[in-house]
Every structure is written in C-alpha cells, then in structure tokens.
Structure 1
Amino acid sequence: MEKVSSGQISPPATTSAFLSGTSLVISLFFLWSITANLLPILIPHLKKACHLSVFQSSLIDSAYWIAYFVIAIPAGIFMKRFGYKRAIITGLLLAATGAFLFYPAAESRSFAFFLFALFIIAAGMTFLETSANPFMTILGDPASAAQRLNFAQAFNGLGAFISSMFISKLIIGKNMKSQSDLDLLSPVAIDNYYTMLFHKVKLPYLLIGLVLVIVAVLFLLTRFVQDDTGVQKNAQNPEAPVEIIDEKIRISLHPRLISGIITQFFYVGAQVCVSSFFILYATSVAGLNEYEATNYLGLLLLGFMLGRYFGSFIMRYIKPAKLLLMYGSVNILLMLYIVSVGGKDALFAFIGVEFFMSIMYPTIFSLSIRNLGRNTPMGSSYMVMAIIGGAVFPPLLGYLSDATGSIQTAYLVPLLCFIPVIFFGWKQT
C-alpha cells in the first residue's frame, strides 16, 4: 500500500479561521468530560429512583465505559476512511441522540432504558475521543503539537468541575429525602417524589443534546483547511478501504504498547471507581447529605483540573515516567487512608487522589504509543479500548460493597488498581 497523503493539514487561510477551528476542537474535550463526570451524580440518583443495590447502580458506569471498548476500533476505521471532521460530526450527533433518549427513559422509569441511552452517548463520545486527539496535533505547527494537545486536555478538568459543581445541582437538589423521610409519606406522596426524581434528569440531558447538535452544525459549516481528512488511501484505488491487518500485526510486536494497554485498563478502573462512588462514600462514611456531597465532588474534580495544569508544568523538570511512579505511590498511601481510617477527613484524601491521578491517563497514553510511527492511529484506538476498565472494576467495587456492607472497604478495588500504574512508571524510567 502506498501512502499518498502525509496526514498533514495545510495552514488555514486566516488566523481567525485557525482560532475558530481550534476552539471548536478544544470544545470536544470539554463536552466529553461533561457527560462522563455526570456519572457519579447519576449513580446515587438512579440508585434511589430505581431502588437499586450498589452493584446494580455500578452498571451505570459499565454501560457507559464498555462503549469505548466496542466502538473504538470502528471509530478508528471510520476516521481513517472518511476523515476527522466527518468522524467528529458523527460522534456529536450520536451522543446527542443518546442525550435526547433520557427523556423517554425518564418517562418510562426504565433503568435498562437509561443504560441504553448512556451507551449511545458514550458511543458518540468514543468517536470524538478517537478523532479529536490526533486532529488537535495536526492543527498547526507540528513542533507545538504536544503543547496544543496538553492545553486541550486541560479542558477535561474544566468540564469535570462544571459538571460536578453546577450541572449536578440540576439533578441532586436540596429537596432530596432520606429513607426515614420517605417512611413518613403516603403512597401517593412517595410516587410523586419518585416522579420528581426521574423528571430531574430530563432537563440537563436535553440541554446537553442541544449543545451537541449546535456544535455538530458548527463543525459542518466550518472549513478547517483544504485537506482535513487525514485519510490514508490506496494510490491505485482511492475508494478502497484502508487495510489495517498489517498494522494489527506490527502493533502486536510493541511490548510497551501492550504493557500500556494493560496499565490503562487498571488506571481507568481506578479513576472511575474513585469518583463514581464518592457520593455514596460521603453520605454513608462521612455523614454528609447528597447535596453537600456534590460540593465536595466539585472540589475533587477541581483538584483534578489543577493537578493536570501543575503536572504539565512540572514535567519540564521531571520525566513523565518518573512522575507517574511518584504520583502512583502517593495515591496508594492516600487510598490506604480512605480504606482504613475513613471519616470526613478522608474526603480531603480523595481530593489528593484526584490531584495525583490527573496526569496518569495522558502520560500512560503518550508513553505507550511512542515511536509507533504509521501504526499510531490503530495504537491509539487500542489505548482507547483500554477504557473498558471503567466498565469492569465498578461492578467489582459494587459487589464488594454489597457483600461486606461497607463502601469504605470496597475502595480496596481502586487501591489495588494503582499497583500496575506504579509498575509501568518504574519500567519506563
């Protein structure tokens, strides 16, 4: 096969066009963080509304993150065949469809319907995450590609903070009732209360769906460059699909990539577990109510955002692999405090865990795909597939919580997940 396109994008005609195009791509990093970081709000909310166990509520995470495993390779193939822009528009519209499905899901009061809607949202976000990272690297001078990507990824933290601190208030309000309060209500009043719980998820997701559609239209109307496809085609037959079998074979020969995929699998499991069950931990171990817990969740993800900025800065002086080793070790100690001591002070340990987790995903990702050359797109797809860890480990935490009757003990699951991160950092130093 002959590569007839370098994958580089010609400079935009004007500075304003460049800035508007870059801003649109950066907005994608913000948007997929918004939807992902509403999961810790949905877990306690739907747990109460749908009368779920901790294990059953953990399926909210599974439904979302398993889409990354199922859709990552198809999204990568679609991107290589049709280009970045079409892949992004497809992802935006697919995610918007999932967001709009929250309305009929709430009307039906069906937990299975909610899980389906979350899967569709995540499928669209997989298209965005698979496309936006490489697209960002080619929007401008190749020499500053890493700097642009780090800047764009910082908007993940901003989206997480806004999602948990502000949008969460649209779902979990001050009028949330405890089980003892519900015991005092009549059957009709109880039914009205649960109707209100389902109703409160409609507006946030309708607004998210609307924003996603608007951004899709803006992408459709924006002309980034003369060639924004980034597609590799057959010189003799430009319409032929891109062959990826040879890339799969070559990727299997990269032990660092294989190690990185395994590490990312465990890391994402830890990240999702830490935040997704935080509100349950804060209410059952630290004695907060759900509304108060959302404020602490906002502080957690503020710590994550600040940690990413600080990590990007300190990497000028400390090698990424060494920093990964150091941060992973600190998180083991913080998780030991969360599991063994608990109480309200443990909530500040959670903030520390988020701060030190912040650099892990992009650091593991970049170290794993280093020197893959033309196999980088498929290698990136495999790394995105490792996000399935976010679907696997939360049910383990939920099962352990139900079995022991202690969400505090169940946090042993993310604690153990940080061990492979430490090992990977040590191997790369």
Structure 2
Amino acid sequence: MPAPITSSAGEGGSILADPRAQRSALTLLASLFFMWGFITVINNTLLPHLRSVFDLSYTQTTLIESVWFLAYFFASIPSAKLIEAIGYKKSMVTGLLIMAAGALLMIPAARIPSYGVVLTALFIIASGITLLQVAANPYVAVVGPPETASSRLNLVQAFNSMGTTLAPLFGGYLILSRSASGNAEAGQVMTQAERLADAQSVQLPYFIVAVVLVILAVVIGRYKLPDLGGSSRRAAAEDRKKHSLLKHRNLVLGIPAIFIYLIAEIGVSNLFINFVSDPKIGNLTHAQASNYLFLLWGGMMVGRFIGSFWMRKVDPGKVLAIFSSLAFVVMVITVFASGPVAMWSLIAVGLFHSIMFPTIFTLGIKGLGALTEEGSGLLVMAIAGGALVVVQGILADHFGLQISFLLTAVCELYVLFYALWGSRTSVEEEPVALESQSAPAE
C-alpha cells in the first residue's frame, strides 16, 4: 500500500474522501479488471484449439502464452512513462483501444490462417492489458484508505476472476464446441479442411470482444475519474536522488514473488484442459474440459471475495501464508494422485491462488509513496514470469504432463517465503512523502 496521498477533497490517505465517489470509481475500475481477466482466459480455451489447428507440441503451445507474457516485460516501463505523460484515465482508454486493435487482428490471422499473425495479435492485446495493469492497480490502491488497500484490490480482482470464470464458457461455446478439435476424442487425427474451419471459428468471439472494448473505452473516456495529480506521478528529480526503490525489501522480493507466482498460475490454467482430458485423469473432450476450467476460475473469484472481507480484519501477509501453504498441498496431490482426485485437486488450486497476485502487489508497493508508479511498473513487468510457462511445457514433453506440475508446487513455496518474511517493509528508508495537492477529474 502506498504512503498517504492527500488532496483538497479530503484526508486520510485517499484521493477520494467521499465514500460514494470511491464506490463509483471502484465500480468503473472493476469493469476494466473484468475485461482483461476475460480476454486473458479466452487464451486458455484458445491454446488447446491452436494446438490442434497447427499440430503443436506442448512446448510450442506454451510458447504462445510466453509471447503473451513477454508483452508485460517490454510494455511495462513504456506504460509507466505514458501514464506520467497523459494521466491515468487517458492511459486506461488507450489500453482498451490497443486491446481492441489486437482482437480485430485475430480475424485476418484466422482467415489466413497464420501462426505468426496470431502471435502478433496476442502480443498487441497483452500490451494493452499491460497498460491497464500499470494504471489501474496502483490507482485502486490509493483511491481509498491505505490500510484497506489489499482488501480493495482483492475486491476488484474478484471481478477480474469473474471475467476469467465466464471466459471458458464463452470460449467453450463459441470456439471449442463449434470446432472439430473441440469435440474430437483424444488422439483423433484431423483433416486439413477441418483444421482450416477450426482456425476460422475464432473470428466471431474476437470481433465481439473488440466491440465491447471500444464501448468500454468510450464510457471510461466520458467518466470523470479524479487524477492522482502531477506530483504524485513522479517525485521531483532532485527529491528522487535521495531515495532508492532497492532499499524497499518488500518491493525487491515482491518482484520475483509476482514473477514466480505467474509461472504457477499460468501453467495451471494453460495446461488444465489437456490435463483433465487425459484418459487417466478425467477422460473428457476439450469442450467438456472447458466447463471444469470454469470451476478453476470460479474458485479464484470466490477466494478473492472471501479474501477481500478477511483482510479487513486479518493481516494480508498471514492470509497469503495460509493460502500458499494450501496451494502447495493440493499441487502435490495433483502430481501423485490419479483420476478424479488429481482433477479436483488441480481445480482446488484456483481457490488458493485467488488472493496471491493482488496481495503480493499491495504488499510490494507498501510504503513507496511517490515512488509507487515506478514500483508498480516493476511489479507489472514481473508478470512476464508467465512467459516461463514454456519451461513447464518442456518438462511435460520430456517427463509427462502430470509430473510437470511439480514446478507449480515449488513456486508456491517461494510465495510462502515472501508471505512470512519477504513482505515485511524495510526500516532503512522512510517512504517518499507526497505534498498536499488538488485532485481534479481527468
């Protein structure tokens, strides 16, 4: 949570003193979290689909998602610079329009069809989401009292999970259920004509997504969100020379925590459909498996609502420690069990992953003050850890898909370490203070 940011509108560490104004702004921001969660998880239904269309190995399939998360690495710092230049609201609108452009590019990519153009389109969509992440996460953290920042971010992240919960149903119905690959039995060989028809089945879903994104960009553009103020976007150059992000242990260790957690989350979600479709696990078609993916993401949504309420009374670090411990346990069960037990244990990890990203994020930016935007940019850049899901793909190709989830279990242990020790704020340096300032609507 950042240091208090005061404004003429009120005091107490919030840019909005009026609780009704806070709720109104959070409602609008929740729609952004919903949409980027929705689009991200459409990929989970798209990946097994593309694996069949382009006849890809697990390594090549997870490489698609690696390209998606590399966008976070390359776009995070430019996103922070753009926010400093044009403000939060305009940056959110820009991010939505970038996402819409990438979604529209999926239409010619499907018509060709082209593996390379698909990768380009997904990179563009992810770059837009990166801009939204860098803008929206710290904005939510400071739009209300700092002591409830973790609770607030978990709440809006619950709407992100609502998007991730509904996306598998949307993708399963409009992509997998309408394609030959989605209804094929395990090991069935597809004809070239079937592959071409399957490739084109993604056009309608992405067109719908593009239209919704443009509408949302217009709504955000017309809404009067309060600005954080120019001086809150970056401390003065002379003042910044006296401070260092590296002296904030919670940020320094929070960056690898986000990076490592994303390897776990993305590995589970991307390989989920292939795992539960295995005859020794769930013996399902890909279309049927997408309905169980709905339960995985539904668990994340429920967990975030619970976590948001719980963290109003319990220290966020303690909650994170409990959830990461339970995530480790269910992943070990997933690796060594079989049949329905292995399938349901993998579904259960969604519940325990639920609060990890928003809690690590708010613990990571706690005490940064006017350095919050830089710290936020670095934490969002760490989302590029999802690109290393290709490592799990390599493990799956060489040792088997089920054994590859040992990587996920190891990731949970680092999150536990961060919760117990790494998230403690350093006393070496006081937070960079912000001057009292007006907060006009953008």
TM-score by length of 2: 0.85
Report the equivalent of 2:231. 232
Which of 115, 126, 130 is 1:126 aligned to? 130
Classify the secondary structure of the residue corresponding to 2:371.
helix
1:200 counterpart = 2:201: yes
Classify the secondary structure of the residue corresponding to 1:38.
helix
Q: Partners in 2 of 1:363 and 1:129 — Cα distance? A: 15
Q: Partners in 2 of 1:377 and 1:357 — Cα distance? A: 25
Gap change, CA 1:15 and 1:361, over 3 Å in 2: closer
Q: Partners in 2 of 1:244 and 1:173 — Cα distance? A: 59
Whether contact under 8 Å (1:82, 1:231) holds in the other structure is: no
Gap change, CA 1:8 and 1:29, over 3 Å in 2: farther
1:96 shift after superposition: 0.6
1:305 shift after superposition: 0.6
Q: Partners in 2 of 1:247 and 1:200 — Cα distance? A: 54
Q: Partners in 2 of 1:136 and 1:40 — Cα distance? A: 27
Q: Partners in 2 of 1:262 and 1:321 — Cα distance? A: 16
Report the equivalent of 1:396. 391
1:168 shift after superposition: 2.8
Q: Partners in 1 of 2:259 and 2:149 — Cα distance? A: 26
Q: Partners in 2 of 1:399 and 1:375 — Cα distance? A: 38
1:156 counterpart = 2:160: yes
Whether contact under 8 Å (2:155, 2:304) holds in the other structure is: no
1:192 shift after superposition: 2.4
1:28 counterpart = 2:32: yes
Letter in 2 for 1:212: L
Q: Partners in 2 of 1:56 and 1:99 — Cα distance? A: 21
Whether contact under 8 Å (1:157, 1:304) holds in the other structure is: yes
Q: Partners in 2 of 1:56 and 1:208 — Cα distance? A: 25
1:8-27 mapped onto 2 (5 Å cutoff) = 22-27=26-31
Whether contact under 8 Å (2:365, 2:376) holds in the other structure is: yes
Whether contact under 8 Å (1:271, 1:357) holds in the other structure is: yes
Report the equivalent of 2:321. 325
Report the equivalent of 1:187. none
Report the equivalent of 2:419. 425
Whether contact under 8 Å (1:9, 1:138) holds in the other structure is: no
1:316 shift after superposition: 3.8
Classify the secondary structure of the residue corresponding to 1:51.
coil
Letter in 2 for 1:398: G
Gap change, CA 1:245 and 1:37, over 3 Å in 2: farther
Report the equivalent of 2:433. none
Q: Partners in 1 of 2:348 and 2:239 — Cα distance? A: 43
1:386 shift after superposition: 0.8
Q: Partners in 1 of 2:82 and 2:275 — Cα distance? A: 41
1:315 shift after superposition: 2.5
1:108-147 mapped onto 2 (5 Å cutoff) = 108-137=112-141, 139=143
Report the equivalent of 1:384. 380
1:319 shift after superposition: 2.1
Deviates more, 1:28-37 or 1:251-260: 251-260
Gap change, CA 1:144 and 1:249, over 3 Å in 2: closer
Letter in 2 for 1:232: S
Report the equivalent of 2:408. 414
Gap change, CA 1:17 and 1:356, over 3 Å in 2: closer
1:256 shift after superposition: 2.0
1:233 shift after superposition: 8.6
Which of 262, 283, 288 is 2:256 aligned to? 262
Q: Partners in 1 of 2:285 and 2:401 — Cα distance? A: 16
1:19 shift after superposition: 6.5
Which of 148, 167, 170 is 1:166 aligned to? 170
Whether contact under 8 Å (2:264, 2:411) holds in the other structure is: yes
Q: Please, what is the CA RMSD of the aligned residues?
A: 2.9
Whether contact under 8 Å (2:148, 2:312) holds in the other structure is: no
Q: Partners in 2 of 1:73 and 1:409 — Cα distance? A: 36
Q: Partners in 1 of 2:291 and 2:175 — Cα distance? A: 13
Gap change, CA 1:381 and 1:248, over 3 Å in 2: farther
Which of 67, 73, 77 is 1:63 aligned to? 67
1:231 shift after superposition: 2.5
1:246 shift after superposition: 3.7
Letter in 1 for 2:47: I
Report the equivalent of 2:270. 276
**Which runs of at least 4 in structure 1 moved beyond 3 Å after TM superposition?**
5-12, 14-23, 136-150, 178-183, 240-249
Q: Partners in 1 of 2:397 and 2:303 — Cα distance? A: 33
Whether contact under 8 Å (1:233, 1:242) holds in the other structure is: no
1:149 shift after superposition: 3.4
Gap change, CA 1:144 and 1:270, over 3 Å in 2: closer
TM-score by length of 1: 0.87
Whether contact under 8 Å (1:264, 1:364) holds in the other structure is: yes
Classify the secondary structure of the residue corresponding to 1:220.
helix
Report the equivalent of 1:237. none
Report the equivalent of 2:336. 340
Gap change, CA 1:354 and 1:79, over 3 Å in 2: same
Cα deviations across residues 131-152 of structure 1 (Å, max 9, x unaligned)?
Answer: 1123334556778665543332
Which of 307, 311, 316 is 2:307 aligned to? 311
Letter in 1 for 2:412: F
Classify the secondary structure of the residue corresponding to 2:357.
helix
Whether contact under 8 Å (1:265, 1:389) holds in the other structure is: yes
Letter in 2 for 1:281: F
Q: Partners in 1 of 2:376 and 2:8 — Cα distance? A: 18
Whether contact under 8 Å (2:154, 2:308) holds in the other structure is: yes
Whether contact under 8 Å (1:248, 1:378) holds in the other structure is: no
Whether contact under 8 Å (2:97, 2:213) holds in the other structure is: yes
1:220 shift after superposition: 2.3
Q: 5+ unaligned residues in a row in structure 1: which ranges?
A: 184-189, 235-239
Cα deviations across residues 243-284 of structure 1 (Å, max 9, x unaligned)?
Answer: 599479610222221111111111111011011100010112
Classify the secondary structure of the residue corresponding to 1:318.
coil
